[in-house]
Amino acid sequence: MENTKYDFLKQIFGDYLGSILIKLAQNEQRMGIFFALVIFLFVVLAILIVSAIVSLGSIL
**Spatial separation of the C-alpha atoms in residues 44 and 22, rounded to whole Å:** 22
Specify the pTM.
0.43
Helix, coil or strand: residue 27: helix
Q: Which residues contact 9 (CB under 8 A, 6 or more apart)?
A: 18, 21, 22, 25
For residue 4, pLDDT over 80 is answered with: no
For residue 3, pLDDT over 70 is answered with: no
- Tell me the pLDDT band of 1, cut-offs 50, 70 and 90: very low
Domain ranges of the chain: 2-59
